[in-house]
Structure 1
């Protein structure tokens, strides 16, 4: 892997059903993730995807492109904007994974994560043990 190499790109479609399934798996049943009336009451632009779901989608795009032997050393993001999931049309989350740095210990993969042309995660970086690639 070389700095600048794009290792994966994918768009993941998220639906309200996806949110309900994620809520069941994670135990996060905050109604802003499935009820329009509650989201509006607290001043949100609509029902939001769980932040951890968005984070998981982003990492899964990169991890799927790595060999099965890859060891993830760490993963971190900053949440910049929410992913609003329309009741009928859902939402598309686009992810691009690019090699940002390489040294003898690790390869840093930088993730660009967007929804509706807006960046939703910043400083999204995954570090992978170099000896596992």
Structure 2
């Protein structure tokens, strides 16, 4: 395993991300709006969760320029409770060695033991 890390997402992180991204959808900040939409509680932005995967890849590769391609599918939302936040665990393994020092990396991104991004793959310049 080349990556094994976790990040905690808090409601404050969601507010900061909403302000930075312009995505002010209330399901990411307002419990009543989230529940009215059929969700169990406030959820993290999908792109924020995807960004955590890119953050883990960058930490491993040593540079964001080393990430040449990164794709994910959103499998489940990350529910972020008001107290304590939600822990997102990211593990990664080299799936395949490619030419010119590149590797294909498979990420497993989970919250509460369930995959939230599936699949998540990247082509990275090997450090």
Distance of 2:8 and 2:64 partners within structure 1: 28
Deviation at 1:69, TM superposition (A): 8.2
Partner of 1:9: 4
CA contact (8 A) 2:58 2:66 kept: no
Deviation at 1:98, TM superposition (A): 1.0
The unaligned stretches of length 5 or more in structure 1 are 1-5
The unaligned stretches of length 5 or more in structure 2 are none
Pick one of 42, 64, 77 that aligns with 1:47. Answer: 42
Deviation at 1:129, TM superposition (A): 3.7
Partner of 1:124: 120
Aligned residues: 126
- Map of 1:65-80 to 2, 5 A cutoff? 65-68=60-63, 71-80=66-75
SS of the residue 1:28 aligns to: coil
Partner of 2:76: 81
1:35-54 alpha-carbon deviations (Å, 9 max, x no partner): 00000111111100000000
Pick one of 21, 36, 44 that aligns with 2:31. Answer: 36
Output the TM-score relative to the length of structure 1: 0.89
Deviation at 1:21, TM superposition (A): 0.5
SS of the residue 2:39 aligns to: coil
Pick one of 21, 46, 57 that aligns with 1:26. Answer: 21
1:45-99 alpha-carbon deviations (Å, 9 max, x no partner): 1100000000000121121111338522211000000000001121000000111
SS of the residue 1:113 aligns to: strand
